[in-house]
Structure 1
Amino acid sequence: MDGVIVDTEAYYQIEQREFFEEFGIEVSDEELLATVGASFQSFQRSLVDWLGRIGRVVTPDEALRIYRDWKNGREVDYAALMNPGVHESWRVSKSAASATRTPRARFRQTLSFSEGKSRVWNPSHRRWYHS
């Protein structure tokens, strides 16, 4: 749920900057920002280009292996990267799930429509019943 639950883009930018520094690769902020939202294949092509700047001529798969080998073992604290409100939303959804665990509660989940009619969803039978 990248971007919805966890905001990893800023983290990835910092991580990639560390990779460049360790390998002695010069990459502008504009180039790095261009990878935000880019496809996996686009990122791989960028890796090939960046590694080529230091004389490493590699295939896209080799570039990715180099990056993954460098990244291997680095811990990411995803909880610290969670978007605001995620913890509260999670607590609320867990409470709602607990409240609907009993068979009667599940059966009595109701929706009211503008015509004043309501229907009850029975998840066991996977169908609506008129109340």
Structure 2
Amino acid sequence: MREFILHHPENGTLVFPGNLGIFEWGGISVNQDRQVAVMNFITLPFISKLYLKDPQDSQAIDAGHGEQGLQPMTGTPYSVDIHPFLSPLGLPCKQPPWGFVAGVDLTKNELVWQQRFGTIRDSLP
């Protein structure tokens, strides 16, 4: 196994699309007659930072729940802190739109249409 090298953990890593996207879990519908899948997806960037766990305090660090915040990385000596990449105003550091609904032709594996979806209120983390 290769040794894992942690580069600049204090800076974090920009993840795009972040862990709220790209497709919603369980949010795909298929029109079997037309062989088109319809789904909504979100394109928001996130920041992930790795933290070396203190063996004495590993239970507290691994107490994360949900999709954001400090999360366990089972089998490693690290936990990961995951948060949306937001401006000081709390808005995503990416120009809108942040969400879309789209149709994919399943026979050709091609995007056949997409439309902006949602509002700022509906799309923010």
> Scaled by the length of structure 2, what TM-score is found?
0.22
**Higher helix proportion:** 1
**Greater RCO, 1 or 2 (C-alpha within 8 Å, sep 6+):** 2
